[in-house]
Amino acid sequence: MTNFIAAMLIVASGAGDSSADRIKAFCVDFNWGDKGAAEPGLYTQASPEEHVAWYEQLGVNTIQTFCVSLPGYAWYQSEIAPVQPGMKGDFLKEMVELGHAKGMRVMGYFCIGANPYWSEKHPDAVHPQSIMMNIPLTLEYIDYLGRVMAEAVTKTGIDGFMIDWVYSSSHFYEDKKYEWLDCEKQMYQELFGKPFPGDEAMDRAAINEFGRRAVDRCWERIHSAAKGANPKCIIWLTCFDLQHP
């Protein structure tokens, strides 16, 4: 497992809880490679048996792994998202079975704000400035997220999943020049109940309000999909910027 990039995640479940209830989690990260976002198939040599044995030796009680990693490819036998090229077996489902047998929770992962596969298939519905944080939270996209999340929970038996980069990509990088996409103008109509007012009216306050409403709608879709598939599904949300308006 020396070729993997690893990131530590340790979270306390509550100040009043006993140490036995504390979440001790670790993630072997499949999102990134030496040149940025991991190319499809880069980590498909990963063995569920070796992973779970390693996590057990580490002493974790929660495994953080992947449903669909950053590049947009699934780590289980999805019928909605493309499957990791060369994946042997059913990685995530096998991780769940092995982890549960050891008394561990097993969590998946979805990246919301970026998905290079989606960007490639929907070039008119993403911002070209970066492959990171570039996907507007359109109805088409959040419907896709909801379907693949419900599928992952149902097919693999995961205890829950992390959602990362949950943020509106519209004018995200303040040092880059943006144009409002047609899909974002349609989003404005849906979110505000009136036509897009034009670029001049979209100052920073208006952009922030647009982003808030887009994220709220996305969250409602994620929550309903997860809880509809399993009412006990855990959703971990990574924090982007606690001070952002």
pLDDT score recorded for residue 90: 98
Task: Name the more confident of 131 and 114.
Answer: 114
Q: Which domains does the chain have, with CATH numbers?
A: 5-237 (3.20.20.80)
Given the DSSP bridges, would you call strands 36-37 and 32-33 parallel, antiparallel or unpaired?
Answer: antiparallel
On the question of pLDDT at 10 being above 50, the answer is no
- Do the Cβ atoms of 68 and 152 come closer than 8 Å? yes
Which segments of the chain are extended strands (E)? 5-11, 23-29, 32-33, 36-37, 62-64, 105-111, 160-164, 234-237
The DSSP letter of residue 84 is P
pLDDT per position as a tens digit, 208-217: 999 999 999 9
DSSP 111: E
Global pTM reads 0.90
Structure tokens that stand for 146 in this block? 């909801």
Tokens of 131: 């492959």
CB distance 37 to 71 below 8 Å: yes
